[in-house]
Amino acid sequence: MRELNASSQNGFSGTTQILEFLAQLPSPEEILALRPSEELRTQIDTLLEKNRNTGLTPEEEQIWQQYEYLEHLVRKVKAKALLKLKSN
C-alpha cells in the first residue's frame, strides 16, 4: 500500500480510487461496470502517445508498468465477478 500511495504522487493517482472502490466490497454488477475515471484515462493516453512518439523516461516506464499491473488485477476481479454472476 505504501508503494502504491507513493506512486500516486508520481502521477499514478488512479490506483487509490480503484482500491477504495474494491475495499467497499462492491457487488459483481458494480465490479463489471467499473471503468477508469476520465483523469486516469487521460494519464494512460498521454503515456501511450509519448511512448509512440518519443519513448518514456524510466520514471514514466515505472508508472506504465504499475498501470499494466492494476489493469491485470481489475481484469481478474471482473472475471471472478462474472463467474459469480453466472453461478447464481
Please compute the mean of the pLDDT values over residues 77-86 and round it to a whole number.
96
Please compute the mean of the pLDDT values over residues 3-32 and round it to a whole number.
75
Residues 47-61: pLDDT tens digits?
A: 999 999 999 999 999
Q: Is there a contact between 19 and 77 (Cβ–Cβ < 8 Å)?
A: no
* Distance in angstroms (rounded) separating the CA atoms of residues 4 and 10: 10
Beta strands in the chain (DSSP E): none
| Mean pLDDT, the chain, whole residue set | 86
> What's this model's pTM, rounded to 2 decimal places?
0.76
Domain that holds residue 51: 2-87
**Confidence check: pLDDT of 20 > 70:** yes
Please compute the mean of the pLDDT values over residues 17-46 and round it to a whole number.
92
How many domains, in total, are found in the chain? 1
34: amino acid identity, one letter: L
pLDDT of residue 37: 85
Distances (CA, A) of 40 to 3, 11, 27, 43, 87: 18, 9, 22, 5, 32
